[in-house]
Amino acid sequence: MALLAAALLAVAAPPLELADANGARHRLSDYRGKVVLLNFWATWCEPCRAELPTIERLRAALAGRPFVILAVQMGGSARTAHDIAEELGLRFPLLLDRDSSATAAWGVKMLPTSFLLGVDGAVAFSHPGELDWSTIEARRKVEALLPRAISE
């Protein structure tokens, strides 16, 4: 019964296809089979800038696992994305939502907003507002969605 309830909580994710600051295209569907943290942010948003380094720490902690981070910059340019990545030491793709159409399609009403997608591509968790992704609680949310190794 609990498994059924958990399955009912998962919501289909809208499609997403954006270029990153280097011009490479990223389609959310390309990451099926991996847990995805999708974060919507903007350069002018102070809570966003505070949250991004915690996301980088989570990325580093889960390196080598089937986990990917995609950070969608609302508005802005490739230059500002490069500058922020360098300033904050970010090593995950910063996708450019130049016209904010992806932000609108995802129903984002405040920044930052994050979505955690399971390996099936469904939204398993969403959080409007700043979150410290480097906490053990946040890491456990991600790890709960990661596929178990056969030897476990």
In this structure, is residue 24 part of a structural domain?
Answer: yes
Please count the structural domains in the chain. Answer: 1
**Cα(14)–Cα(17) distance, rounded to whole angstroms?**
10
- pLDDT tens figures, 12-52: 788 999 999 999 999 999 999 999 999 999 999 999 999 99
Question: Would you say the pTM of this structure is higher than 0.85?
Answer: yes
In this structure, is residue 18 part of a structural domain?
Answer: yes
Q: Could you tell me the residue range of the domain that residue 44 belongs to?
A: 10-145
In this structure, is residue 150 part of a structural domain?
Answer: no
What is the CATH classification number for the domain harbouring 80? Answer: 3.40.30.10
The pLDDT value recorded for residue 112 is 98
The pLDDT value recorded for residue 148 is 76
- pLDDT tens figures, 73-125: 999 899 999 999 999 999 999 999 999 999 999 999 999 999 999 999 999 99
In this structure, is residue 3 part of a structural domain?
Answer: no
**Cα(128)–Cα(21) distance, rounded to whole angstroms?**
24
